[in-house]
């Protein structure tokens, strides 16, 4: 990993969507997917673990936080 890499956390309740984003993003030389989550609670835990620079989140995944 180089210091210029953008560390990304993907959050979506659909595995196929996360897989698609990961496939596209990992083709970029300056981006690294550091984690995936299925909902807001999972995202919060993964965020604390991985410390990403950017979170790409499906809004529906956040709205399930009840």
Q: pTM of the full predicted structure?
A: 0.83
> Would the pLDDT of 62 be above 80?
no
Question: What is the C-alpha to C-alpha distance for residues 51 and 35, in angstroms, rounded to an integer?
Answer: 10
Is residue 48 included in any domain, yes or no? yes
Structural tokens at position 22: 């990961």
To the nearest whole number, what is the mean pLDDT of the chain?
A: 88
Phi-psi region of 51 (alpha: psi -120 to 50; beta: other; left: phi over 0): left
Alpha-carbon distance of 65 to 12, in angstroms, equals: 13
CATH classification at residue 21: 3.40.50.2300
pLDDT (average), residues 20-41: 94
Domains identified in the chain, total number: 1
In-domain check, residue 1: no
Q: Which pLDDT band holds residue 40 (cuts at 50, 70, 90)?
A: confident
Could you tell me the residue range of the domain that residue 17 belongs to?
A: 6-63
| Distance (Å, whole) CA 32 – CA 7 | 5
**Does residue 13 have a pLDDT over 70?**
yes
46 is a domain residue? yes
Q: Residue 30: inside a domain, yes or no? A: yes
């Amino acid at each position: 990993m180089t210091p210029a890499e953008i560390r990304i956390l993907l959050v979506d309740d659909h595995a196929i969507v996360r897989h698609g984003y990961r496939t596209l993003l990992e083709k970029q030389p300056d981006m690294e997917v550091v984690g995936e989550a299925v909902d807001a609670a999972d995202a919060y835990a993964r965020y604390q673990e991985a410390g990403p620079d950017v979170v790409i989140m499906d809004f529906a995944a956040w709205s399930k936080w009840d």
